[in-house]
Structure 1
Amino acid sequence: MEAQVLNNFRKTGIAFIDDIPWGTHLCCFYETQDDLFDVVVPYLRAGLESNEYCMWIVSEPVSTFEAMNVLKKAIPDLKNYLPHLEILPHSEWYLKYGNFQGEKVMGEWINKVNHALVKGCEGLRITGCCTNLTNRPWKDFLDYEAMIEREIGKFNMIALCMYQLGKCGIHQILDIVNNHQFSFIKSKYDRKYTNNFFKFDRLNLLGKLAASIAHEIRNPMTSVKGFIQLLQNKDELKAYSDYFSLMIDELDRANGIITEYLSLAKEKENKENKVQKHNLNNILKALLPLLQADAIKEDKYVFLSLNDVEDILIDPKDIRQVVLNFCRNGLEAMEKGGVLEIQTYMEEDTVVLEIKDTGSGIPEEIISKLGMPFVTTKENGTGLGLFVSYRILENYKAKIDVKSSSAGTTFTICFPRPQSDF
């Protein structure tokens, strides 16, 4: 039985991390034992003070006795919270079945969530040093972390996994980061970082990795595509034309995915030098032939309905990227004969861009997550296109509203009118 997830936020106790919702999966890389305590102790204190059931799974060289003493020093009235606190050694939790079995451990966590709710707590807050688990078969351990990442959102549960940097290789660190919603480093030597913390943004990391290998990937892909196109034009191979077209489409799709990841790696360049007053209608008119070409191939239609609008402060390249992403998503969502309408108009002090499709709509449970990375309704999508578009619009302080039904979806984007001349 799944615990009911309350729609509220919890204090982390960690200096630079704001309140987080139930279902958050955090990861911290630390260097020394003091670094470990500096993160875990305030994290658990915040949980106990918020009526949460807290569990700390300790590993050598930290003992349960030492962990309890550290908490007593930090929380003078700890005895009042003891009914809601468990400190267990690594062997009694992760290895209670003789060896590490990820699915059973996940089942135990779920049991603890239900136990916490029965005791009158609002949910479960857990932390544990997982470094020793990295010595187990790596795939089994990654499957366990991926399972937590996948399932934790269903429960009143927050998890903070601790890893000692000196015991993790670079490939392990990358795998671990990729299986957590948020990761950071705590080190007393990292004094150049605010509060001695360094955020490990996995999206920027993925973008930088993509940037480092994109050239090596794209070159052979371009060669393969060129040879396929040559073969496609040979009369003796006409019978295989459909297969060649499919191969080219798949190469184009792979290239599109690389492009989406690359967009994560772009640093904010002196935007003030590129942001100037531009009219949204002019950008849309220039994009119309490209959008119509996309639509015609699928027997679909694109119409512009442009009213007079004031100029806004933007970088045209950013807006072209946003419009293309929203419009192409709309075109993909529609059957043959579908109509995509792009409209502009003024509404009080805002310039409004409206993109409306006649597709089958977006599931209600997805709408609230739009703009989050890796959220997509497409079978082969990454969800990064919308994420980047939302981030661009956020930089321009534009507001986004989404309305969707079985008759189609409308994205309404409101740009603030400049308050003064640029």
Structure 2
Amino acid sequence: MTTALRQTGIEPVGEMPWGTHFCHFYETKDDLLETLLPFFKAGLEANEFCAWVVSEPLNEAEVWQALGRAVPDFDRYVSSHSIEVLNARDVYLAGGEIDLHRIIGNWSAKLEGALSRGYEGIRVTGNTAWLEQKQWRDFMEYEGELNRGISDQPMLVLCTYPLTTSGATEFLDVAGTHQFAIAKRRGRWEVVETPQLTQAKAEIARLNRELEQRVLERTTQLEAAIVDQRQAWSDLQETQKALAHVTRLTTISELTASLAHQVNQPLTAIVANATASLRWLDRTPPAIHEATDAMRCVIRDAERAGNVIAHTRELVKKSDGDKCLVSVDQMIREVLSFVRPELARHQVVVEEALAEDLVPVLADRIQLQQLVLNLIMNGIDAMSEVAARPRRLVVSCERGQRDSGAGVLVAVQDAGIGAHDLEKLFEPFFTTKRDGLGMGLSIARSIAQDHGGRLWARRNADHGLTLYLLLPEASDPRV
């Protein structure tokens, strides 16, 4: 049964849990109505089935009229049969005697019917002004059984007793068969608690103190755990950065032959042009114009070699984690220029489809270069054993659509041998290369996720795979 509190509508009582059985000692008819009308108004508005068992000084017609005045839109509750008004003698004295098993059985049946119709529970009140002295003992036995029986049921029961016929003995009997009693005398509310209720409140207070202490201790433990977790997260990020740096160095080492070729070409040209310049200057008279042209070629080739070295240093150095606006198409062209000799060495033809009007992305430039370099190197490796068809690598970028807004979509399509399990490609240390680390695509996906993006693979219709990278535009508020 739910432990949610129910609003009683009675000022000194407030909210009470299901299973509450209490009584009200009243002086006048108005006193009775002032208590019971808000009690039933609160029940109807809380989707509870309501039953009002009426006895003098009220009759059924008066109760219906009073409810109609007190409860907004009361006709709706009447038409849906959410409330019924019953005669006390019909409820308690059917058959001419008080049969507690019959009465409690009837309440159980009403509760079952109410729950089956979608009500939260039932709310009941019964007036006892009809009771005669000879029936008192049997009725108190019924009240005691009801008090014990509804403790775990979705029921609220309020019994009403007239003060004019309640002496000290009757008052003690009633208090002993209810959880507590309320009375309004001369305009003032009084609440009388039974010893059991007083003891229960003390036990609840003790349990609350224990709970507060446990919450305090647990909060302290959680705060310490959060500090440890933050430190662990910081350590993990540093480890990931170090691993990414190692992977970059490994990739650069794989490109050593291409890098040597890129540097060797301009160096050879520098030597040739410098030698030619000396020969032009040794002539009589010196051929100044020709020597100048040769030296211009020396300067041009020196700049070419310097650019190769600078680009290599940029890829090798550690990322500082700072993000800036990056033009994706321009960055891809730089990476392709860097790996052009490697593409030629593996006889890979590159097709570029790079849109130029893309919104920049906010990214760590070094990490993004590494990501794209890993995708291209993966495509080159995937086609290393292809001989029966052209080794074609298609690199494209365009505006894409994310679940939360626009983005930049990068695609690298190879014509390789493909893969059986696409998700396994992104697992750490998974590789099909004999001497590979198996970290390239795993780190690439981590970089993509750190930038709020996604990296995934799809099989091509004919041969190979396409790796897709989707990054949020810098204007996306979720970047």
TM-score, reference length from structure 1: 0.47
By relative contact order (CA 8 Å, sep 6+), the higher-ranking structure is: 1
Q: TM-score, normalised by structure 2?
A: 0.42
